[in-house]
Chain A
Amino acid sequence: MSSTENRTPLIRLAKRSEMSPRKIWAIRVCSIIVALILGCIPMMLTGNNPVEAYGVIIQGSVSRPVYLKQTIRIAIPLLGCALAIAPCFKMRFWNIGAEGQITMGAVAATYFALFWAGKVPHVMLLAIMFITGAIAGGLWALIPAFFKAKWNTNETLFTLMMNYIAIGIVAWLQGGPWEGRKGSQLIPMFSNEARLPQVFGVHCGWIIVLILVVLMHIYMTRTKQGYEIAVIGDSVNTARYAGMNVGWIMMRTMFISGAICGIVGFIVVSGANFTLYKGVANGVGFTSITVAWLSQLNSFAMIAISFILAILEKGATTLQTRMQVPASIADIITGILLFCMLSCEFFINYTVIFRHKKKEAKS
């Protein structure tokens, strides 16, 4: 045996050159299918038939118009929030504070819903709630962005801590200054003027987020600011060298991101809940990270992905009532989906080269 043969490892990795987009998406779709198959494992371990369980999930989320409307209602904040997260993740700013930004947007909107209702016309009230919600969310996001830009403070943990702080503030409002009936620990329901109108049986938040999808797509692909974000994401040093003010771009992007989250917060309180409580964000901030990443930060793909995850979430509650499978199965499958999607990038970026024994023996 020659010594060269021994030195070649059994499995070797190499960077792959460009792959055709069709092949890339084929790999991604395959990884989603693999994830759904892996999702069968916890169902089987608890003694349920996975095919039946998936059937129940589909049935419970889209089979009737009522269910479908509820599913869309879940999808709206997911989509909106994923749009908000996309530019941050694009520039590798790990904003996991969407939860808190939604909450603060909702707080601002609620303030006007509670204390300005009846004083200004309906449409104007909604407009005020929309704008203040956006500003509140944006400012809340600006705090960690400022410190990141100035001192490179760890943004992941900072944004996350801001979530708990925002939720704590709502908990205080709920039991304190904004409490409706004494001792109820509840903020009173909004009057009709502060509620979003319905279009096709679902509150018009869906129109707002669909407009945001188009706007965000244009922003990310057609504007100078979107390009700057992409450059920072690829290499901060390149961006600096090209003369970009990285700190300023970070703060601007985070403000936009937080503002969209704030709008989502407004949509949730004014369109779906008609009141504010500390669970207003309901984990949307985290699930939307999945949406953003699964769709590879592509705005239009997010529509489909957020709908799929909404089906999963809505279907899982049906699954819990019907087959006693805990609804957290939705989180497990979401996690597996993310794992598979992250793993499949490996097969897109690298090729695996096996050692060819015969060839080398000849040479």
Chain B
Amino acid sequence: MTTIITLITAAVTFGTVLMYGTLGEILTEKSGNLNLGVEGIMYMGGAFGLAGAFYYEKAAGAAASGPLAIAIAILSAFAAGMVASAIYSFITITLRANQNVTGLALSIFGTGIGQFVGEYMRVSEGGYVALSNGLKNAFSARIFPDFMVNIPIAGRILFSHTVFFYLAVVIAILMYVFLSKTRYGMYLTAVGESPATSDAAGINITKYKYLATTIGGGISAIGGMVYIMTTAGCVWNHEGLSGVGWLAVALVIFCMWRPLNAIWGSVLFGAMMIMYLRVSIPFIPTELYKILPYIVTVIVLVLTSMRNSRDKQPPASLGLNYFREER
């Protein structure tokens, strides 16, 4: 029993990272933009989130407060993600370049920037960038009081996580409400389904695409920051982050472009990512065990493409650029 509970809590920790990436990409894809740069965006979020918290602590010294550091880390990651996806938006929406290649370019660019910033901080700070233990604990602290965490079984599973997990759940619910219950969410969906129709209906296509893509990029970037500040222990670690962004893109398909599905979907994938550490299976070498999430992703991709129900399709204009005069 304890093994299962530990597995679930660890899965949630890693799943949170994926959840931000997935939620951001869902919002982006709803506008018809297929942003393959999530990998790069999450790298940038990780590097700039760490930089934000680190330089804040350097400036504030011992007076640095945990909540403020968390807020700064979130904001700087969000800003980095917005800038990165603004580049993508400009090139694909305004200049109408191919979305696939632009996304790949953003991946290369973003991983480069992330690495550059991470490395540069290390070199310029004399070899080691780390937050003080006080702040580190603030990032991985539980936010619910002990008596709730101590409720047998359910306490650990539901209340023992960091603030980032609950924030992600809130974002997921808000996004669900926005997309399916508000007028602007409907407009956004319409833009992603058929830009020409929405344009004729008087919806400002460009505005919706820009906003959805940049805000989505910002949300994805928070995921990178959460990884660096919780799992990686507030140290720049690009190896652990590599591949996460791509998994997030795959998860969007797995979740059928629905924010609420992202909650359990990312926890499930989080479980697969860390299972080799917690549950050993005899006769399967660790290295082969580690590729489990990728194999499952492949199977999921194949299965989702095989069944063809109408309500489980991507936004109809996904990956296509819109030019009014081109009919």
Contact = CB atoms under 8 A, between A and B. Distances in A.
Interface of A: 13-15, 42, 46, 94, 96, 147, 151-154, 156-158, 160-162, 164-165, 168-169, 171-172, 174-176, 286-287, 289-290, 293, 324, 326, 328-336, 338-339, 342-343, 345-346, 349-350
Contacts of B106: 335
Contact of A152 (B105, B107, B305, B325): B305
A44 to B, nearest CB: 13
A172 B115 contact: no
Given A293-B101, A332-B113, A339-B91, A326 B120 contact: yes
Contacts of B207: none
B193 interface: no
B71 interface: no
A332 B116 contact: yes
Given A168-B290, A172-B285, A342 B112 contact: no
26 contacts: A96-B104, A147-B301, A147-B305, A151-B305, A153-B301, A156-B36, A157-B253, A160-B246, A161-B246, A161-B294, A165-B291, A165-B295, A168-B287, A172-B287, A176-B285, A286-B108, A289-B101, A289-B104, A326-B120, A330-B112, A331-B109, A331-B112, A335-B105, A335-B110, A339-B102, A343-B91
Interface string B90-127: 01000111101110111111111101100110011000
B134 interface: no
Secondary structure dominating the interface of A: helix
B109 A328 contact: no
B95 A343 contact: yes
Contacts of A157: 246, 249-250, 253, 297, 301
A349 B123 CA distance: 44
B325 A46 contact: no
Given A42-B113, A328-B115, 16 more contacts: A15-B325, A154-B301, A154-B305, A158-B302, A161-B294, A164-B291, A165-B298, A169-B291, A290-B108, A328-B113, A330-B112, A331-B109, A331-B111, A334-B109, A339-B91, A343-B95
A328 B287 contact: no
Contacts of A326: 115-116, 119-120, 123
B154 interface: no
A152 B109 CA distance: 29
Nearest to B117: A326
A338 B101 contact: yes
Nearest to B36: A156
Contacts of A350: 96
Q: Which 9 A-B pairs have the closest CB atoms?
A: A335-B109, A331-B112, A168-B291, A326-B119, A328-B115, A338-B105, A172-B287, A342-B97, A332-B112
Contacts of B285: 172, 175-176
A343 B93 CA distance: 11
Nearest to A330: B112
B100 A156 contact: yes
Contact of B119 (A162, A176, A287, A328): A328
Given A152-B305, A332-B109, A342-B91, A14 B115 contact: no
B44 to A, nearest CB: 11
B311 interface: no
B288 A335 contact: no
A328 B112 CA distance: 5
Nearest to A287: B108
A161 B306 CA distance: 18
A293 B97 CA distance: 12
Contacts of A330: 112
Contacts of A161: 246, 250, 294-295, 297-298, 301
Contact of B105 (A42, A94, A342): A342
Nearest to A152: B305
Contacts of B325: 13-15
Contacts of B116: 42, 326, 328-329, 331-332
B291 A342 contact: no
